[in-house]
Amino acid sequence: MKTPTVLYQDNHLLAVNKPPALLTIPDRFDPAKVNLKSVMHGHFEPLYVVHRLDYNTSGVVLFARTSDAHKLLSRMFENGEIEKTYQALTKLPRDMEAIIDAPIRERISRPGTYEVHPSGKPSRTSFKVQSIFGLIALLDITLHTGRTHQIRVHLRHYGSPLLVDHEYGQQDAFFLSSIKHIKLGKGELERPLLKRSSLHASKVSFLHPITNNRVTIEAPWPKDFKAVVYQLNKAFN
């Protein structure tokens, strides 16, 4: 596991760049599993959770360092006062930008997964295409509500699922051979460039709950995401 990087810290807040393949908080069935909170707790104490990212999503995670900051930040998340920007590699959408306003609920047939449904909770996501690589796009996404798996569910509903997403996408991994010819040695198997959700929480921006100053925190792409964008640029641009 790559060590999480501290992006911002003061006496009230901590922001960390979460690597992929890492839980944000302890697993309720197996608390011994490695998770971001426990890793950072060894260096910062106490820590309070205010939001989380999916296991396979990388990027900015905010923690509170005091109970007062925790209450204020939690309220800000609930009220949509924290601007959350993501970047995703997806199937090329039909529009260069759009707002997806569609309610989301947990699937009755598959608990732990979600779907767009009229009886769901109000959910709103907007996106803008940043780059196009053939039938693949790099999107800038703004999350206006915070439902579980929201971006993944909304993009699938829109017809532009993540490039890689084992649950809501069309493939479990992305291989270089899908965009260019490569030579493999006898008996050699191609390794995927990306084998987790092609989604990265790139930025948060908000008014500091204690100082009221504007705080903007950005997380650079992890190695796997960066490698895919590099190869797409080479192949199509």
> How many whole angstroms separate alpha carbon 203 and alpha carbon 118?
30
Q: What tokens were used for 2?
A: 């790559």
Q: Report H helices in the chain.
A: 36-41, 67-78, 150-158, 223-236
How many other C-beta atoms can be found within 10 angstroms of the C-beta atom of residue 85? 18
The C-alpha angle with vertex 159 and arms to 173 and 149, in degrees rounded to 5, equals 65
Q: Are 200 and 88 in contact (CB under 8 A)?
A: yes
Does the active-site annotation cover 54?
A: yes
Classify strands 199-207 and 58-64 as parallel, antiparallel or unpaired. Answer: parallel
Q: Are 20 and 196 in contact (CB under 8 A)?
A: yes
Q: Which of these is catalytic: 10, 27, 54, 224?
A: 54
Q: Are 124 and 145 in contact (CB under 8 A)?
A: yes
Total H helices, total E strands in the chain: 4, 12
Q: Which of 28, 69, 29 is nearest to 48 (CA)?
A: 69
Question: Would you please indicate which residues are annotated as catalytic (active-site) residues?
Answer: 54
